[in-house]
Structure 1
Amino acid sequence: MVRQSPPTERVVQVLDHLVAHPHARFGLSELARDLDLSKPTCLGILTVLTDAGYLLRDPAGRTYGLGPALIVAGRAAQRGYAVGPVAHRHLTELSARLGVVCTASGVVGDRIAVLDVAGAHGSAAGARVGEVYPFAPPVGLMFVLWDRDERVECWLRREPTLPVRIDHERLRRVIDECRRTGYLVESHTRGGQRLYALMAGVVAHDLAPDLRELLGELVSSPGERVLLPDRWDTAGAHAVNLIAAPVYDAEGHQSLVVAAHLERDVDIVEVERIGDALVATADAITRELGGRRPVR
């Protein structure tokens, strides 16, 4: 049974609204109207959050904005998910060297969360810290494929976000190849990227069975978007969305995935150059955070 807590949901609603408008300040009446809350309820929430330091109140304008306690909470969350100064420094250096957006993401509960973004410019600037996606087939393969096989099987057993067909033979080839090279090369068509963005936005809601079935028919099998050597034309180029590599924790499990977002046509020589640079960056982060590669 899923237990609901309307009072807690209202607190989250207030915080989400202010986080979505970090540079704005709101009065009590405006917030109550925007969030469809009664003024007494809204005032009670604002008062408690202000007393705790999560919000600041401007006495002159009687308006509210984000407070310093959120900075402390955010930094603690970053440390907890291994995205602190160490990872950010390496991502920034890699982004400057490659001239692309680089991100670090990890699994938080039952969701994939974007934890850091460096070099947010160009078409990949849409990657934002705090974005979440479902961690269940067909989404999330790269967060388990460098881990032990039982982690992969556990992910495959999760209830799919959409009905998908799993090509186990190809999936095994993808896993073996990515473990051999140390990185993953993923290709999306622009339509495919839009589809997955839409899917990530709606999976948390109950979809009508016929809509779920329709979307499921459009979604490819996990690993289908990974480019394998037999699909590379050594004299040509392919549309590559991103290249990703794993960061490991002290027990040899994947803790993060760092990715370079290319979103352009590249040849195999450039893929190997960027892939090697990404693996070196991921290994450097692993070492500095006290992690280690798994023993297979």
Structure 2
Amino acid sequence: MEDFEARRQRLVKESGPTGRTVAVLDFLALNSESEYTFAELARQTGISKATLHDIVRVLVENAYMRRSTNGRLSLGPAIIGLGDAAIGSRLALLNLSRPLLSQLAASEGLQAVASTVTDDEIVILARHGDRLVRSPWYEVGERIPFAPPIGTVFLAWGDEAELQRWFEKSDDTPSDLDHDEIRSAVRAARERGYTFGLRVNARERLQLVLHRLEDEETVDGAKAHVGELLAEMKDERYLVAELNESSAYDVDFISSPVFDSVGRVSMAVNVVGFTRPQSKMQIERLGRLLLSVAMRITAASGGVAPDSFPFEIRSNSRTR
């Protein structure tokens, strides 16, 4: 994934006044608990003081940036309104999930992430825990293709028609994807109550391609590679149905669904940032722990697990 420094340089050098404004907001968002003098902000973002002056003035006047009594700068309250509007009805879920995911991240030394599906994309809604070297995908606002083999947590407990629409969702997805292999992984996830994926080279390369999609001049060229990389993820065993007792797995994520009042997946909770391979026992322990968190959020929000969820877990979620 493009790190902040590379993104900052691109925004400042290539994207004009709008890009420089985004670079300022990006920096403050990544350092939301800190305040900066005007000179510090100019140095950190690489924007000239003359240019930064106008950006700061407009953002402060419109409450997207706050100037404290000592003159230091930080994000302003208007950002909250934008975030609430973008998240919409999922804001209550995020408020319920925040303490649970924060505790999970701290106790396991991982990042805990909330995500949802919007149109044809998975959107990262929240992230808890320290920034980790091996979790390059999971920034708040990050968008990931909701296309095979990515996103099984959002459809494993739906019907066959929903699964088929997912297979056909993107014209960029190659027709030679092994649907039977993916279906096998989906069935396994349905039985245990959580999904997981392995870290593969194609996924990291796909992230770079997705960043190119932000540049209008390279959209057509970048889109041409998305389907190919999605197919490579399958070839590199991104999804695994059966776990071997004697094997260790380079896990990318583990996910469990949060259901709404009619049993649809409204949000997924995930753990990411694994620094070492995981055994079958370790994956299952974390999967059950994450599943417990997801069911607590489901129950607290008035949700209910569908009939396709494991019976014992479904029954427990309905009686809480």
What's the TM-score, normalizing by structure 1? 0.75
Q: Please give the alpha-carbon distance, in whole angstroms, between the structure 1 residues aligned to 2:19 and 2:223.
A: 31
1:201 deviates by 2.2
Q: Please give the alpha-carbon distance, in whole angstroms, between the structure 2 residues aligned to 1:32 and 1:251.
A: 55
Q: Deviations over 1:120-172 (max 9, x none)?
A: 24324542212222223443333322333332222222224454632121122
1:237 deviates by 1.8
Q: Secondary structure at the match of 1:179?
A: helix
**Partner residue of 1:20?**
26
Q: Secondary structure at the match of 2:220?
A: coil
1:182 deviates by 0.6
Name stretches of at least 5 consecutive residues in structure 1 with no aligned partner. 1-8
Q: Please give the alpha-carbon distance, in whole angstroms, between the structure 2 residues aligned to 1:102 and 1:65.
A: 25
Q: Please point out which of 280, 284, 287 is paired with 1:272.
A: 284
**Partner residue of 1:167?**
178
Say if 2:176 is the partner of 1:176: no
Q: Secondary structure at the match of 1:256?
A: strand
CA contact (8 A) 1:138 1:164 kept: no
**Partner residue of 2:254?**
243
Equivalent runs, 1:40-55 vs 2, <5 Å: 47=58, 52-55=62-65
Q: Please point out which of 120, 137, 150 is paired with 2:130.
A: 120
CA contact (8 A) 1:102 1:259 kept: yes
**Partner residue of 1:294?**
306
What's the TM-score, normalizing by structure 2? 0.70
1:66 deviates by 4.1
Say if 2:199 is the partner of 1:206: no
What is the total number of aligned residue pairs between the two structures? 275
CA contact (8 A) 1:101 1:121 kept: yes
Q: Please give the alpha-carbon distance, in whole angstroms, between the structure 2 residues aligned to 1:293 and 1:64.
A: 45
Q: Please point out which of 65, 68, 78 is paired with 1:69.
A: 78
Q: Please give the alpha-carbon distance, in whole angstroms, between the structure 1 residues aligned to 2:280 and 2:70.
A: 61
Q: Please point out which of 192, 197, 206 is paired with 2:202.
A: 192
Aligned alpha-carbon RMSD (Å): 3.7
Per residue, is there more helix in 1 or in 2?
2
Say if 2:117 is the partner of 1:111: no
1:177 deviates by 0.9
Say if 2:233 is the partner of 1:220: yes
Q: Deviations over 1:245-278 (max 9, x none)?
A: 1111122111111111224211111111111111
Q: Deviations over 1:23-66 (max 9, x none)?
A: 66579x959968xxxx9xx78x975x6554334579999x9874
Name stretches of at least 5 consecutive residues in structure 2 with no aligned partner. 1-14, 29-34, 309-320
